Structure 1
């Protein structure tokens, strides 16, 4: 019985690899007969949303852009999963904490990737979602989205709209863990955001932590993506997967790179980052040495704006939870980015914090002139611009 089970598992894995290869090579047609539900949750077919109903116009600029993105993924994940190192499996093992769900309104959905993998996602939108920044969160190697409800709540309550996904093989997402697969998953999530009318596609911020930094860098360095990324915030990333392994075991440093089935060589890509970037580093990080974040920062030479924020008391994933993070790092960075992205200053900056948005609406009442108040009293309340 176990042999039969292993045979089925092996055959399924092989089919996944073939679909992945075909997608990266541009030989896989978008799927239109996908199920509407997976694990009882709605499935969103990204190919259909992006390319429209069949038949696909493969000469369209949208489809040509898709092929360029797949080619970029293929070129920057050259290591094929031939060798399955003990170090790779140890580092890729997800550690589950107390499973939970966001305590704020959210959509529990699956995104169907270009190679037919079902990616579990939470989408959180404010009622006035178009007025806020939208954060695509790329979590670390030892987490799944159901472990991160407190972080999700924090981003929603303080920073804006949120989309967070589990990469293939993580949490409830289908498929097997792989570098190239994870790149496709994050690209799929980003493409989904670009199809949402409820958000402003020019205000998307990519937030990566640990391994998520490598995924964010991959996404942001693809030329077709950068114009739609407002900024990146990257917390305690590594220069390459092998370097991360070396921090866990000195022996890994002496092993050849080809023995690892994951490359994630961010240090070779960051010079292609043109979007504004803020690197966050915790000096108490016991998982990835802080020097790796510094090396990424120093190699990011072509960004419109790049800064490094070092926190002496922070560890591997808690820089954003430091008491002075918002005032010291986050607000100044977002204000600087807005000035760079809007040099003509004709557009008003959206609220940097959701809480600021509430204060702005309340305080604006007191900005009304006496004449405006009298006018409002004699007409309709909504006619005063101060109340919008």
Structure 2
């Protein structure tokens, strides 16, 4: 009985892998024949938005780019279903349940991914959405979208438009979590933003925290995405999934890397980072050692603009909530990023914060940006003393 059950499980796993492989190669057409609703919410068919109505033009430039993006995802994914173990899932702390909703007006939707998964999302757009920056928010290991509804509200109130998703297997997104699946989910969400006429598609900022940092790095280091992302903000990430797991479990520390079904080896990719990026460290982080972010920063050698900000009193997910975050880190970074994209100053920078939009017509960006330079006192970080630094 046990052998038959194991055989059925193995066969189903093989069928799922084959179905995914076919979908990524464009051999599977039912992406166009999906219900318009899932769990009572509208379904947005991202593949159809990107490639148009069937049949897919497989000779098109857009489809060629898509295949290269999927190849990049497969290249950086751990594809070992037999090691898709209980240990890995426990470390990922998948959570399901009913969700809180943002306080601000939002659209509650499902996005159809390229491999026919459904991912739940909140989209928050300002009335004058095209005037604002747009933020794609990638959450962490133990979060689900309901935990971040307050963050979505905060980003919407202060920073601009917001798209926040739950990866498959988290929150109200069905399916089984995997490294490859999470990468596809984030790529799908980003591509969805690129289909929206209501936003400025040249001002998309991708924010990641914890595991979300690994997903943002995967997205932003893919060559076709690199020129489409305005900037990345990365808060307390890890160099690899095993490095993060080893700090939570003695067993994980002793196991060889090949037994993990999640790799997320960001340290192997950040040298391909060309997008402007700001790394944030909270020295009171009890989940992921701050040295991980330091190592990622030091390995980011090709970014157009790279910045590291260290907060002595911040923890794992609250650097952006520090009282001086906007003045000390966010505004200077966003101003520097604009100069990277517009070195000739031919185009004046729009207001960086939503709260500044009310005075944007009468006050120039230089008038309300604080030019003060902040220096962080030297701090011992695992026998490495270093200062606030900017490349």
Give the TM-score taking structure 2 as reference length: 0.88
State the Cα deviation string for residues 293-320 of structure 1 (Å, max 9, x = none): 0000000000000011010111100000
Partner of 1:288: 288
1:282 and 1:319 in contact (8 A); partners too: yes
TM-superposed deviation, 1:7 = 9.8
1:117 and 1:168 in contact (8 A); partners too: yes
Partner of 1:303: 303
Mapping of residues 135-154 of structure 1, within 5 Å? 135-154=135-154
Mapping of residues 51-66 of structure 1, within 5 Å? 51-66=51-66
Report the structure number with the largest CA radius of gyration. Answer: 1
Partner of 2:77: 77
1:96 and 1:142 in contact (8 A); partners too: no
TM-superposed deviation, 1:111 = 0.3
Partner of 1:269: 269
TM-superposed deviation, 1:50 = 0.4
1:30 and 1:114 in contact (8 A); partners too: no
TM-superposed deviation, 1:32 = 0.9
Hey, what's the Cα distance between the residues in 2 that align with 1:31 and 1:147? 30
2:97 and 2:171 in contact (8 A); partners too: no
Mapping of residues 57-206 of structure 1, within 5 Å? 57-95=57-95, 99-206=99-206
Secondary structure of the 1:278 match is strand
TM-superposed deviation, 1:18 = 2.7
TM-superposed deviation, 1:29 = 3.8
Instruction: Decide whether aligned partners of structure 1 residues 194 and 317 sit closer, same or farther in structure 2, where only a CA change above 3 A counts.
Output: same
Hey, what's the Cα distance between the residues in 2 that align with 1:335 and 1:325? 14
State the Cα deviation string for residues 220-263 of structure 1 (Å, max 9, x = none): 00000011100000000000000001111234223111111100
Q: Which runs of 5+ in 2 are unaligned?
A: 365-391
TM-superposed deviation, 1:94 = 2.8
Partner of 2:227: 227
Task: Name which of structure 1's ranges 78-87 and 207-216 shifts more when overlaid on structure 2.
Answer: 78-87
State the Cα deviation string for residues 304-353 of structure 1 (Å, max 9, x = none): 00011010111100000001100000000000000011112111212110
TM-superposed deviation, 1:19 = 2.4
Secondary structure of the 2:162 match is strand
TM-superposed deviation, 1:193 = 0.4
1:134 and 1:160 in contact (8 A); partners too: yes
Give the TM-score taking structure 1 as reference length: 0.88
2:23 and 2:115 in contact (8 A); partners too: yes
Q: Which runs of 5+ in 1 are unaligned?
A: 365-388
TM-superposed deviation, 1:28 = 3.4
Partner of 2:343: 343
Hey, what's the Cα distance between the residues in 2 that align with 1:124 and 1:317? 21
Hey, what's the Cα distance between the residues in 2 that align with 1:8 and 1:188? 31
1:217 and 1:270 in contact (8 A); partners too: yes
Secondary structure of the 2:82 match is coil
Task: Name which of structure 1's ranges 163-172 and 4-13 shifts more when overlaid on structure 2.
Answer: 4-13
State the Cα deviation string for residues 244-295 of structure 1 (Å, max 9, x = none): 0111123422311111110000000000000000000100000000000000
TM-superposed deviation, 1:4 = 12
Instruction: Decide whether aligned partners of structure 1 residues 351 and 198 sit closer, same or farther in structure 2, where only a CA change above 3 A counts.
Output: same
**RMSD of Structure 2 on Structure 1 (CA):** 2.3
Instruction: Decide whether aligned partners of structure 1 residues 30 and 60 sit closer, same or farther in structure 2, where only a CA change above 3 A counts.
Output: farther
Instruction: Decide whether aligned partners of structure 1 residues 8 and 353 sit closer, same or farther in structure 2, where only a CA change above 3 A counts.
Output: farther
TM-superposed deviation, 1:93 = 1.4
1:232 and 1:278 in contact (8 A); partners too: yes
Q: Are positions 1:259 and 2:249 aligned together?
A: no
Secondary structure of the 2:31 match is coil
Q: Are positions 1:236 and 2:256 aligned together?
A: no
Mapping of residues 305-384 of structure 1, within 5 Å? 305-361=305-361
2:99 and 2:171 in contact (8 A); partners too: no
Partner of 1:369: none
Partner of 1:34: 34
Q: Are positions 1:217 and 2:207 aligned together?
A: no
1:245 and 1:253 in contact (8 A); partners too: yes
Hey, what's the Cα distance between the residues in 1 that align with 2:66 and 2:230? 20
Instruction: Decide whether aligned partners of structure 1 residues 192 and 9 sit closer, same or farther in structure 2, where only a CA change above 3 A counts.
Output: farther
State the Cα deviation string for residues 161-207 of structure 1 (Å, max 9, x = none): 00010001111112110000100000000000000000111100000
1:30 and 1:47 in contact (8 A); partners too: no
